[in-house]
Amino acid sequence: MQYTHLGRSGLSVSRLCLGTMNFGPKTTEEDSFAIMDQALAHGINFFDTANVYGWKKGEGITEKIIGRWFAQGGDRREKVVLATKLYGDMGDWPNTGRLSALNIRRSVEESLRRMQTDYIDLYQMHHVDRDTPWDEIWEAFDVLRTQGKVLYFGSSNHAGWHIAQANETARRRGSLGLIAEQSLYNLAVRDLEREVIPAAQAYGVGIIPWSPLQSGILAGALAADAGGDRRLSRADEVERRRPQLEKWEAFCAELGEQPADVALAWLLSRPAVTAPIVGPRTMEQLDGSLRAFDVSLDADALARIDEIWPGYKTAPEDYAW
């Protein structure tokens, strides 16, 4: 396994992050335990979850699964860089969601209890809260860091100017600020390249891409469809992107590589990217994701990929002179 620092921090994380969103809804607890054990065996030390995962309001099903896995011992908790998120509603009463100081305090305590741990390595804002001042958010975060309950903070689904706002407010307060931004980023969705990635580079924020295969579309969707595998949830997008996908899958065949492996390898080559999140439902999917480290993309291959999946220039050059 390859390791790198998360953003400008001294925290060492694997270059693949284990996403746990499927644990509970799609993957049984027994299989989830096996996948997490296998991830450690592969050297993956970076696990990501969220308080809303499990998709039954207020229950935190996925965090509970992780907590019961930690409770087995064997230094499982000590080996894992644990990331979770807050923002979504965990109840029907006011202040059970978003980023007020009250909800931050409650949410961290609930996540700690569910995951049977006394600290969280990376605590992430799952979305922007436009109604809560940054000073209030950082005051609540600073208390958690002083208490030793959270070590680092990150954002998710934030724009470039949100990253700037957050880190400038933190700077004024003498706080470390954000070290990570978790965003939708893959070959089919490259909007981050305009402003989020430049902001992340300027502030030393590591990018953690979610949905690196665009829900499987980049993983050989046409071949899967031809083989009768219709599990893809985005059939309309497959049809809309069919000309690109035909070129993409033909190019990967030229390389002698699986499309999913090439898509992950491309993300690993991108500036500011720390670790794409792989969210396996099965052990086979987890094991397969490691093949990306064996894929070599030279300048010509990267240029071909850009022809198939055009990206963006840094703003404002992308839309102005």
Distance CA 8, CA 10 (A): 7
Q: Which of 200, 222, 210 is nearest to 277 (CA)?
A: 210
- Long-range CB pairs of 64-69, under 8 A, 24+ apart, other chains included: 64/114, 64/115, 65/20, 65/23, 65/24, 65/29, 65/32, 65/33, 66/20, 66/23, 66/36, 66/114, 66/115, 67/114, 67/115, 67/116, 67/117, 68/29, 68/33, 68/116, 69/32, 69/33, 69/36
Helix 101-115, helix 61-70: angle, nearest 10: 50
Q: Which tokens hold the place of 85?
A: 């998120």
pLDDT at residue 3 in the model = 98
- Which residues partner with 195 through β-bridges? none
Tell me the domain boundaries of the chain.
Answer: 3-216+271-294
The one catalytic residue in 53, 123, 185, 203 is 53
- Which residues partner with 182 through β-bridges? 156, 208
pLDDT at residue 228 in the model = 58
Distance CA 106, CA 259 (A): 42
CB 278 within 8 A of CB 30: no
* Phi and psi angles of residue 118, each rounded to the nearest 5 degrees, phi first: -105, 5
pTM of the model: 0.95
Strands (E), 120-234: 120-125, 150-156, 178-184, 206-210
From first to last of its 321 residues, what are the pLDDT tens digits of the chain?
Answer: 999 999 999 999 999 999 999 999 999 999 999 999 999 999 999 999 999 999 999 999 999 999 999 999 999 999 999 999 999 999 999 999 999 999 999 999 999 999 999 999 999 999 999 999 999 999 999 999 999 999 999 999 999 999 999 999 999 999 999 999 999 999 999 999 999 999 999 999 999 999 999 999 999 999 887 665 555 567 899 999 999 999 999 999 999 999 999 999 999 999 999 999 999 999 999 999 999 999 999 999 999 999 999 999 999 999 999
Question: Which residues touch 194 (CB under 8 Å, ≥6 apart)?
Answer: 160, 312, 313, 314, 315, 318
Active site residue 53: yes
Q: Give Rg (Cα) of the chain.
A: 20
CATH architecture designation of domain 3-216+271-294: Alpha-Beta Barrel (3.20)
CB 195 within 8 A of CB 168: no
CB 81 within 8 A of CB 13: yes
Distance CA 34, CA 285 (A): 13
* Measured CA angle at 312 (ends 306, 313), to 5 deg: 115
Q: Which tokens hold the place of 177?
A: 């600020």
* Measured CA angle at 32 (ends 123, 58), to 5 deg: 50
